[in-house]
Amino acid sequence: MQSKIVEFTNLLRKSGVRVSTAESIDAFQALDELSLGDREVFQDALRATMVKRSADIPTFDQLFELYWSAFYDNLRGAFEQAGESMGGEGFDLELLLKQIQEGIRSLEGELDLSELAKALLTQDLSQLEQMIRDAADQAGIQRIENMLQLGFFTRRTMEQLNSEGAGRELRDLAQQLRESGMPDVQVEALLELIEKFLEALRKGVRSYTERELQQQNFDYMEKFRRESLLEKSFYNLTEEEIKRMREVVNRLAQRIKNVLSIRKRRRKRGKLDLHTMLRRNMGHGGVPFEMVFKERRKDRPKLVILCDVSSSVANVSRFMLQFVHSLQECFTKIRSFVFVAELGEVTQVFKDEEINAAIEKALDGGEAINVYTRSNFGQAFHYFWRNYLSAVDHRTTFLILGDARNNYNDPRTWCLREIHTKAKNVVWLNPESPSAWGFGDSVMDKYLPHVDAAEECRNLKQLSRIVDKLIL
């Protein structure tokens, strides 16, 4: 049992669940306290001691199924099937087994059966389970890599088990029983049963090798899934991926929140505030028991976001807006705008609406702009400069999300220059790669002098890197 738990722990670790040594010791102790008959309790106990993040629970359940249940269930199924298939008219498996036991007892002393043969005859499944596990290990099952090797490893494991030897022994046993006077019908039935059990054993071994193959591939597949998601561009996303993406963005936002709360606490202690302190300590007769400090000026970053929602960046901006929505939950001082040629504010929309509805509304122009025009960055910046410049001050980070494809309109770079002089910094996230900036109708090169940081941002990896820069 111990080795199984250790193996299972390793499997969890390989799949990215962090399990410390202390936790696996807890698991051992927990299992000491419980009766292991109930698989559900067993599973709960392992989960409570080893898995500490609710996000890991699905992985755990899946692995548990794979590791503990599937194989044993298959083995049991195979043996049950073997028993059932014996059922001719009026056949009683229980009775036969009992008669065989009696027969064996009468042969006492002359009998020398191998472990496997005994386990087969008594249908001791947990014993068989352990034996198959050991044999498969010796057969080098860890090296299994693909489907084509299933047959090979099944055969090797069977050889390792010496199943043929056990079969021979059992047939000899039947012969002995016949000689000792067991009726022919029963001996025939026994011989049939032996073949059926051997077949069930083979099925069990086969299912074990299959399981082992799956297990070898599981962490690999999971890893592959994550990697590919991180690398994937925002264009072409499925529902599931959007969901996972949202989780990651939320995690990012959470990290931002944590950083902010550290800042807030550092900020707490400023100079001694004499006035307030005296007033507060009047109750103690003016003796300053409680110290009061002035609060330092809040250094909370302000953020103004301009998000391009024109059709050329439709898929990206959907994601970007999702990001904006998460940001808006963390920052109190944030204003968001969407633009194509006209520019409209969506801060309130994002505040009121639940995320999907908000994004839909924003993509639709937030009831403020017409999205069916051709994008014009110059006009949008000009409009912002004219109407919202007061939203920008020396503590503001000005974030632009867009591809700078201006449809050969006037870029009006002076607007961005003006904004740049007022803002703390200007950050531009462009879904296009830098090599495309300035080509065709892209005016990115014209804006670059007025931007503190311009980053290519098309996928999550790039985004998370930029977030580190932006906040930390």
| Beta carbon of residue 339, minimum distance to other proteins (angstroms, whole number) | 25
**Residue number with CB closer to other proteins (91 or 289):** 289
| Beta carbon of residue 288, minimum distance to other proteins (angstroms, whole number) | 11
Q: Which of 430, 420, 376, 423 is nearest to 400 (CA)?
A: 430
The answer to whether residue 332 forms part of the interface with other proteins (CB under 8 A) is no
* Distance from the Cα of residue 379 to its chain's centroid: 43
Map tokens 């693909």 to a residue.
146
> Burial letters for 9-43: b for 16+ Cβ neighbours within 10 Å, e otherwise?
bebbebbebebeeeebebbeebbeeeeeeeeeebb
| Beta carbon of residue 9, minimum distance to other proteins (angstroms, whole number) | 14
User: Which range binds other proteins by CB under 8 A, 258-266, 331-339, 373-381, 461-469?
Assistant: 258-266
**Residue number with CB closer to other proteins (219 or 353):** 353
The answer to whether residue 239 forms part of the interface with other proteins (CB under 8 A) is no
- Candidates 90, 185, 265, 282: give the one binding other proteins (CB under 8 A): 265
- Candidates 7, 13, 23, 211: give the one binding other proteins (CB under 8 A): 23
User: Which range binds other proteins by CB under 8 A, 32-40, 150-158, 168-176, 389-397?
Assistant: 32-40
H helix or E strand, kind and range, residue 320:
helix 314-330
The answer to whether residue 258 forms part of the interface with other proteins (CB under 8 A) is yes
The answer to whether residue 52 forms part of the interface with other proteins (CB under 8 A) is yes
List strands edge to edge, sheet with 302-308. 343-345, 334-339, 302-308, 396-401, 425-430, 453-456
H helix or E strand, kind and range, residue 399:
strand 396-401
Residue 63 contacts by C-beta under 8 Å, 6 or more apart in sequence?
Answer: 8, 11, 12, 15, 218
Map tokens 């301009």 to a residue.
306
| Beta carbon of residue 357, minimum distance to other proteins (angstroms, whole number) | 7
Strand partners, 335: 304
Q: What is the amino acid identity at position 314?
A: A
Report the C-alpha gap between 423 and 5 in whole angstroms: 58
The answer to whether residue 280 forms part of the interface with other proteins (CB under 8 A) is no
Strand partners, 343: 339
H helix or E strand, kind and range, residue 302:
strand 302-308
Report the C-alpha gap between 216 and 210 in whole angstroms: 10
The answer to whether residue 57 forms part of the interface with other proteins (CB under 8 A) is yes
- Candidates 228, 261, 348, 387: give the one binding other proteins (CB under 8 A): 261
Phi-psi domain of 250 (left: phi exceeds 0; alpha: psi -120 through 50; beta: other): alpha
| Beta carbon of residue 367, minimum distance to other proteins (angstroms, whole number) | 16
The answer to whether residue 48 forms part of the interface with other proteins (CB under 8 A) is yes
- Candidates 168, 269, 284, 469: give the one binding other proteins (CB under 8 A): 284
The answer to whether residue 13 forms part of the interface with other proteins (CB under 8 A) is no
The answer to whether residue 76 forms part of the interface with other proteins (CB under 8 A) is no
Q: Which of 444, 468, 472 is nearest to 456 (CA)?
A: 444
The answer to whether residue 254 forms part of the interface with other proteins (CB under 8 A) is yes
Q: Which of residues 345-384 bind other proteins (CB under 8 A)?
A: 352-354, 356-357
- Quick one: the chain helix, strand, coil %, rounded to 5? 65, 10, 25
**Residue number with CB closer to other proteins (171 or 246):** 246
The answer to whether residue 44 forms part of the interface with other proteins (CB under 8 A) is yes
Which residues of the shown chain bind other proteins in the complex (CB under 8 A)?
18, 20, 22-23, 26, 29-30, 33-34, 38, 40-41, 44-45, 47-49, 51-54, 57, 254, 257-258, 261, 265, 283-285, 287, 289, 352-354, 356-357
